[in-house]
Structure formats: C-alpha cells, structure tokens
Structure 1
Amino acid sequence: MKDQLVELIGKISSGCLPETEIERIADEAAQAYADPQAFLVANPDINYDDSFPIPLGEWVVVGSLPDTVLFQADSYQDLFAQIVASFGPDVAFNIKPKQLAKVEALTALNRIQVQMGSMNKEAGGYVLMNFSQLLDDELQMVLVYGNDVERVLELCAQVGIAAAPALEALRVALHV
C-alpha cells in the first residue's frame, strides 16, 4: 500500500511537496492503515478516535497535506482564494475570488474549473477533485493535472479514499 500512497500523494501534490515529505506521509499512513492501534500507541499526540468518518490511515494522509495541496473552505470564493494564494503572486488568474461571491455553486465551480483547466496545458490543465470525506468544511479538494485524473481515481479506489472530479460530482448531485 505504501507504493500506492507515494504515487497518489505525489500526483495530488503536483510538485508542491518534496519527495522526502511524500515518503514520510505515505509511510505513516501505511502504518496507520496496517495497524491503527499500534500506530496510535506509537503516536499518542494524534487526535483521532473511532467517531471519525474515515479510517486512521486516510486521516493521516488528509491531516498531513499542507494547505497548498488540500484546499478546505465553506465557499467557492474562499476555496478559490486559497488556490490563488497557493500559486503565489507571480501567477495571473483571469477571475478574482470576489467574482464568485454572488453566483450559484455550479456557476462558481465551473468558472474555477475553466480557469484551472487553462493552466499548465502540457499536463492537461488542472482538475479540481473532491478528496476524502468532508470533515469540518463544506468543500475539500485537491488540484490534479488533467493527464493524471484517471490514475488518481484508480489509486484512490485502491487505497479506499473517496475522490471525484468536483464539477462532474456537483452536476450529478444537482441532476444537471
């Protein structure tokens, strides 16, 4: 499982995490998946119990991803502001977060996806993907290169982490 986790974390981090950090997260998560009780005993500082809606290994992955990889927000405006911040001031965006404030969820997400899909063309653009179960926020997503979407979905299925392209998932949820 560790190899699958290394590949998955590498693909969802899109170059934002050094290889050593990817290895560390994957190793800890693999241990937590394999023997949750032993992992909790060895890591008493971890705040996890059986009431969490996801397995400990998945919780380790989600909790270890920095805010430049895992975007969590209660509105698309805040989500997009986090995405813009993660790219830094040198990257220009055609839309601004405040332009998403008064539009429907589907419109907002579509605008974000169009913007992200137009970037990094050689990698197939970026696709916003829902990642894992929602914990404390309404939205929880990662950016994945368009060329990696199918492989990320395969890896998520193999390790048991829920994932779906966000725009498609919202269209299905709204029956559009």
Structure 2
Amino acid sequence: MLRIYSKNLLISMMCQKRLPHQTFKRYNNSNSSGSSWKILRLNHIAIASKTIEESSTLYKDKFRMETSDKHAQPDHGVNTMFVDCGNTKIELLDPITDCKSPIENFLDKNPTGGIHHLCFEVDNLDAACLDLRQRGLRLLSDRPKIGAHGKPVIFCHPKDCSGVLIELEQA
C-alpha cells in the first residue's frame, strides 16, 4: 500500500495540471521563533542502484534523456548522476566502494534498487530545520551538509515522513 501511495504521490507532484476536484490549502509556516520557510519545488527524485552505469542506460539509451557526468560525493558515501526531466531531475545513486554508504542498507533490502528519496528545495533551510524539530520531526544529522548541487542539505527521518526519506535543500 505504501509503495502505491508513494508512486501516486510522485506522479501527482510531477504533473503540472491539477484535476478540477483538487483543492489545496496554504498553511502559515511561521514557527514560534517568528522565522518562516516554505517548500518551493520538487528538486529531484533519487533512485539507488548497484551501479550508476547500469541504471543510467535506461534513461540515456531507452528514454533518450540527457544525463550529467558521474560525480563522487564522499561526504555522503555515494556517486551521483543527474537525469534532466525538464521540470525536475532524477538523481541516480550508487555506493562508493571504499566508503560506508548509507544506501548499502537500502540496496540490501532492495537488491534491484528503487526510489530512495525525494528532495524539496526550501527558501530557508535553517528556519525549516528549527521549525521541523520544534514540531517533533527528527532530522538525520545535527546540521546540514553540502549536497550534490553544492548547496546545504539535510534529511528528514523516514519514520516521521510516512516511510519516505525526504531531503531538504537550500534554494
């Protein structure tokens, strides 16, 4: 059930058209300290695999999409490659062999790989971290690290996010 919900969520977020019956409520994101933040857009959907070279052939050769070069992210224990989707990106991930990679556990549970996380851009990452902690949401590190785009990022605990690993990135 969770996988079906997650895929439907991804599809609806990637679609630019809203169905006539959809209504959305805007919430005030001010926290008790007075600072505010908001999610600006879906930056990327990350897909983990044993090797980027293998998984990238689907996007390059079959779907004829443009990809970036492969880049090592030693602070995160992964290699990354981005696939341009027009209105967002797909981030392909594989573990760096000489590092303890957080996606190794994911690949042990999902040997063929799969959707690893969603990344949202936020307008004020520090305010988001403070506000989310005040609301009881666990973050996976004490402070943001520099991510694959050269910007600060932090991950939210999937147990607090309906089983989905969420990455927040400073816009």
Please report the TM-score for the alignment, with normalisation by the length of structure 2: 0.30
Which protein has the bigger helix share? 1
Please report the TM-score for the alignment, with normalisation by the length of structure 1: 0.30
Which protein has the bigger strand share? 2
